[in-house]
Chains A and B, each alone.
Chain A
Amino acid sequence: MRLLPRVNYILMPVIITVFTFMGWIVYEQFYRASQTYLKGYLEQELSYVQQQMHLEWNSYQSILNKISISQELLQYTSTDDSRYQSFVFESRLMKMLARVRRNTSQIQQIQLLGNDDKPLISIPVGNPFDTPEIDFEVKSFLQESRALRFGETRGAGKSIQRFIYPSIDPNTVRFGIASTIVPHLLSDDRANNPNSEYYTIFLVGELTYFSQLEKRIKNHIGAGVTLQFSVMPPANDAQELSDIRVVDGSDGGLVGGLSTELFAINIVVPKTSIASRLSAVRSDIYLSVLSVILISFLVLSTLIRRQIISPITQLKERVKKSRQQQESLLSYIESDDEVAELNNSYLELLNNVERLASRDVLTGLGNRRNFQNTLSRAIQRNVERNKNIALLYIDLDNFKQVNDHHGHAAGDLVLQEFGCRLNDVVRLEDVTGVPGGVSLSRLGGDEFVVLLNDIPNPDVALAVANRILELFDPAFEVAGVQYGVCASIGIAISPEDGGDATTLLRHADAALYKAKAHGKHCCEFFTADIAEAIRRKTLIANDLSSALVNGDLRLVFMPIYEVETLIIVGVEVLLRCPTLERQGIGPDQFIPIAESTGLIRKIDLWVLDSALACLKCLQTEHGFSGYLAINISGVELHSKKFPQKVDEYIQMYSIDPASVEIELTETALVSNTDNSAIILQQIKDLGLGLSLDDFGTGYTAFNQLIHYPVDCLKIDRSFISAIGTGAVEKAAMIDTIMALAKLYKLQVVAEGVETAEQLDYLKTIGCARAQGYLLSKPVEWERFLALWRENAKNIDLS
């Protein structure tokens, strides 16, 4: 199971259990407290009832006593004259009894019974025409044991009897209290004379305590409470027992009661009543528990997720991605926790594995596998970026002898040492010109390979190879021992020597074989042409450099004509190097070489200097009114100092800048456009003109044209030569260029005009200027002067 669900599965039950348990405990406490309180309450109520009843019984007793000893009763009972008795005494007695009844709210009936229980007086009278009858309850009482009336069973006797009677209506309880009197005797004396005439007085009434108690308790606790009133059977031993007891019921409720010798009150408070009192508490507890469960679950879950699971999951993701992409997305985590430790350990593990997998154990250089990957990747990148890769396959010559003569330990040492030195040599940036684009590998045995990425030209590879070879000059010394090993290097250049890893390696191997065949301790390129080209390039560069130093450079002049009038309006200066010229190498060859070596800077400055000097001469001595066009290398656009230099020369020769035009090839503008634009602008700001040479061959976009402060477009010769040949697109290009020039208000000069047809065509399309062999070849200084003089005459004439 996933971690997060697992956490949830663990958390939920535990939280629910814990909080439910707590909630239950809290509820139990409340319940218990409620129970205790109710217990106290019931005890209090019962005690109150008990006291009240006690007081009331006492008062009834005293009333009975009062009646018993009252004069009215005494006289009534002691008179012989029945007429007098009925005329006088009975009314008095009746009045007294009626008064007693009126004054005592609970007494409802008073009855006086004579001897043999004959009813004499009954209050209230009710219907006076009915003879007094014994009250129903009194009758029941009389049926009880008579002996109790005189307490025959006991010594002193009890003159006052009490009884409680449940009435037919279950909500009322009737009570009675009776006293037997023998009028002529004192109460103490009665026991001695059980057979004397006696009268019995009954007070009968209704006990409201029970219903009041019931109402009160039900109001307080709830309707679920049951109260039961029961009459005790008359006990033989009439002790004054009165017992209040409230205990816990079997169902968790309360059971209690008051029991006296006359009656018992039983109260049952069911658990539901107590519980219903707590219903508000219960719902509060439910809510609290629920919300606490939810909140703590959410909080805990979130915290765990964020603090524990999330880091783990993230680590897992990173590891997974690392595996998928074969490169490590893991990075060192600085934390102190287990996840960080795991992360770091894994990282180290990966690194170790990676190292182990890709490193050669002995030298610490890359191993074969690593090399294969690196090479493949490099070739892939090379294709994308259109750069060269150089593969240097190095084999140590005479290595076997080291092992044989000095032992394998020494051999290993040599290899190790070579690896180190190789590393040092190769990684020098100034050698390669490209930082970090190198990888070294040991393919096995004594074979090493150096991969150079993104080299600008094969020369770099050669330089590196030479450096490596120098390591073995004069011998390879390791720990004081000189070993007669040296290296043979085979160089293969991609893409020329192979577009895939296998081919490249194979060719490099072949080059190595070639080197070995040449006598070892040397390097060989796979492609002879490359080597040759390098050689040639070096020669030319040297010659050019010498020519510059020796003043062997010359300028030639190519006039630019106005097409309509064939008037010379300007002149382009071109560079010649006689030395190279004799070898058949023209500026189209040596200028690129000069650019690659950086010599072009010096050459450009020489050109500038010389050209401006010529112009000065032309203007001052020969009245030249046209402009001078000077070709400048695109390299100058990266030189911040160039405009400054131009300005220096302008100032030096005091030339009007407007009469000077700088020519740049369209292609030179392609790279590093921003800086180029700035420098161009600076040149323009000096007041010079600017024209794009070989226009139409580059990739200038229209909006780029806006960037450059160009004045003139020089249509490339290829388009001009296409006129009349039926190459429609090329011809159409001229129209397009014309339209473009018109749009941007630029001058147009057509280059390489060689036929009259071409010239005519240019005339028709409105191209203003042209130059070419038809009009004039590039000529020497003297010749140009002559041309100018002729032309000037023509100007005067026209």
Chain B
Amino acid sequence: MKIIKPAVVLLILVLSLPTSAEKVRIYNWRLYLADQVVETFEKESGHTLIQMYYDEEAVRDAVISSGRSQGFDLIMMDDSTLRLMDRLDRFQNLESINGDIEGIEPLWRKACGPFGVAYSWGTSGLMYRSSVAVEPIHSWRQLFEVPAEHQGRLVTHLDHQDSVASALMAIGAHPFAVDKVALQQAFNLLQKQQASILAQTYGLAYAQIHGTSSKMSLTYGFSSDLSELIKISGQDDWVYVVPEEGTLLWADCWAAPYGKTLKPATVAFLKFINRPDIAAMNAERMGFTTVNQAALALVNNDYRSNKVLFPSKAIQDRGSYYQILDPESEKLRQRMITSLQSQ
């Protein structure tokens, strides 16, 4: 009797205590998660969010395949890679969480599959400074046959999917064509591009590093990049354009690396991020297209009418989804990029 009373008190205390503070480690793109969201989450939940960044998907993928992904609780994956990695049991099944979250567009939920929680979607295109440009950029060709005013001011990364796809689109081929002749032409364009480059890196990352002193005037990027780019560069004349030949449609998903049991904090975060008000705030702040329909109802007009974030149907029709090709084709694309990298 005497033991029970203190035990009950202890139990109540324990139960009334908020759940112990956990750390959620996230591996993400830069400038993809609003600070305010992080602060709010941390305040509300008592958990700590630790973000680490990658600038290239290849790097992220290397981390994942090296097993280092075990150090993370959540990794921002693109839908195609996630689907590929499905097979290798790299990630945990998040269907249960998906079931708890409402409001995600079914299209995108399907894209991310059972191993991901959809986060955003968008297009790929070119960003340029209108004050520098003599004429508006309109074609993928101009990424390779760089206009004179952008010579030496082009920043672009070499990626075996993005770079090859944009080169293929530049010659009017399908971005995931396997035709060797087309690929040869694409390779030639990529070679030509080398002469005009200021830096061989992801444009947004370059701006992050150089800030207001960035000389970049033309870059490859995604629709979600524009607002952040303007913010960090201080150059408000940046323009995002989807070239006329086509675009690549992508979706980003949260994924939890296999091997760890999902922490309550992680689950809490995922749910938190999908709370309509939070999702709306996040999307507005960071300038990306949210997949959360419920959030869409809460966004402001500027956001809703943003043509970049919400491309027209015509543009969407021009778009292609990311694909994983057959091994030989992939190898070829790898070789192309490796060849260019060593030049």
Please measure, in the bound complex, the distance between the C-alpha atom of A85 and the C-alpha atom of B326, giving whole angstroms: 11
A86 is contacted by which of B62, B331, B342 (Cβ under 8 Å)?
B331
Chain A hits for B335, CB < 8 A: 94, 125, 128
Chain B hits for A124, CB < 8 A: 339, 342
Do A91 and B65 touch (CB < 8 A)? no
Chain A hits for B342, CB < 8 A: 98, 102, 123-125
Within 8 A of B (CB), among A50-90: 71, 75, 81-90
Do A86 and B328 touch (CB < 8 A)? yes
Chain B hits for A777, CB < 8 A: none
B313 in the interface (beta carbon within 8 A): no
Do A88 and B187 touch (CB < 8 A)? no
Do B65 and A75 touch (CB < 8 A)? yes
Chain A residue with the shortest CB-CB distance to B58: A91
Do A88 and B61 touch (CB < 8 A)? yes
A81 is contacted by which of B87, B337, B338 (Cβ under 8 Å)?
B87
Contact string, B230-274, partner A, CB cutoff 8 A, digits 1/0?
Answer: 000000000000000000000000000000000000000000000
Interface centre among A86, A90, A124, A129 (most CB of B within 10 A): A86
Contact string, B324-343, partner A, CB cutoff 8 A, digits 1/0?
Answer: 11111011101111110110
Within 8 A of B (CB), among A87-140: 87-92, 94-95, 98, 102, 123-129
Do A83 and B327 touch (CB < 8 A)? yes
Please measure, in the bound complex, the distance between the C-alpha atom of A253 and the C-alpha atom of B280, giving whole angstroms: 90
Chain B residue with the shortest CB-CB distance to A89: B65
Within 8 A of B (CB), among A120-162: 123-129
Contact of A92 with B339 at beta-carbon distance under 8 Å, contacts A81-B88, A84-B84, A86-B328 already known? no
Chain B hits for A94, CB < 8 A: 334-335, 338
Please measure, in the bound complex, the distance between the C-alpha atom of A123 and the C-alpha atom of B187, giving whole angstroms: 18
Do B339 and A87 touch (CB < 8 A)? no
Please measure, in the bound complex, the distance between the C-alpha atom of A102 and the C-alpha atom of B342, giving whole angstroms: 9
Please measure, in the bound complex, the distance between the C-alpha atom of A98 and the C-alpha atom of B183, giving whole angstroms: 22
Size category of the binding interface on chain A: 20 to 34
Please measure, in the bound complex, the distance between the C-alpha atom of A352 and the C-alpha atom of B270, giving whole angstroms: 155
Within 8 A of A (CB), among B172-217: 180, 183-184, 187
Do A98 and B332 touch (CB < 8 A)? no
**Closest CB in chain B relative to A709 CB, distance in Å:** 136
B25 in the interface (beta carbon within 8 A): no
**Closest CB in chain A relative to B186 CB, distance in Å:** 11
Chain A residue with the shortest CB-CB distance to B332: A128
Chain A hits for B85, CB < 8 A: 84
Contact of A92 with B62 at beta-carbon distance under 8 Å, contacts A83-B84, A83-B324, A129-B184 already known? yes
B160 in the interface (beta carbon within 8 A): yes
Contact of A128 with B84 at beta-carbon distance under 8 Å, contacts A71-B66, A88-B61, A90-B330 already known? no
Please measure, in the bound complex, the distance between the C-alpha atom of A84 and the C-alpha atom of B331, giving whole angstroms: 10
Please measure, in the bound complex, the distance between the C-alpha atom of A124 and the C-alpha atom of B341, giving whole angstroms: 10
Please measure, in the bound complex, the distance between the C-alpha atom of A89 and the C-alpha atom of B331, giving whole angstroms: 10
Do B88 and A125 touch (CB < 8 A)? no
**Closest CB in chain A relative to B42 CB, distance in Å:** 34
Do B339 and A128 touch (CB < 8 A)? yes
Please measure, in the bound complex, the distance between the C-alpha atom of A126 and the C-alpha atom of B87, giving whole angstroms: 33
Chain A hits for B187, CB < 8 A: 128-129
**Closest CB in chain B relative to A70 CB, distance in Å:** 11
Please measure, in the bound complex, the distance between the C-alpha atom of A45 and the C-alpha atom of B219, giving whole angstroms: 55
Do A87 and B87 touch (CB < 8 A)? no
A129 is contacted by which of B65, B183, B324 (Cβ under 8 Å)?
B183
Chain A hits for B66, CB < 8 A: 71, 75
Contact of A83 with B339 at beta-carbon distance under 8 Å, contacts A75-B65, A88-B65, A91-B58 already known? no
Chain A hits for B337, CB < 8 A: 91
Please measure, in the bound complex, the distance between the C-alpha atom of A86 and the C-alpha atom of B335, giving whole angstroms: 10
Q: Apart from A90-B330, A129-B180, what 6 extra A-B contacts exist at CB < 8 Å?
A: A83-B84, A86-B331, A94-B334, A124-B342, A125-B342, A128-B335
9 shortest A-B CB distances, which residue pairs?
A: A125-B339, A128-B335, A86-B327, A86-B330, A82-B327, A128-B336, A91-B334, A86-B331, A94-B338
By a beta-carbon cutoff of 8 Å, the part of chain B in contact with chain A is: 58, 61-62, 65-66, 84-85, 87-88, 160, 180, 183-184, 187, 324-328, 330-332, 334-339, 341-342
Can you sample 28 A-B contacts with CB below 8 Å?
A71-B66, A83-B324, A84-B88, A85-B327, A86-B327, A86-B334, A87-B84, A87-B324, A87-B330, A88-B62, A90-B330, A90-B334, A91-B58, A92-B58, A94-B334, A95-B338, A98-B341, A123-B338, A123-B342, A124-B339, A124-B342, A125-B335, A125-B338, A125-B339, A125-B342, A126-B339, A128-B335, A129-B332
By a beta-carbon cutoff of 8 Å, the part of chain A in contact with chain B is: 71, 75, 81-92, 94-95, 98, 102, 123-129
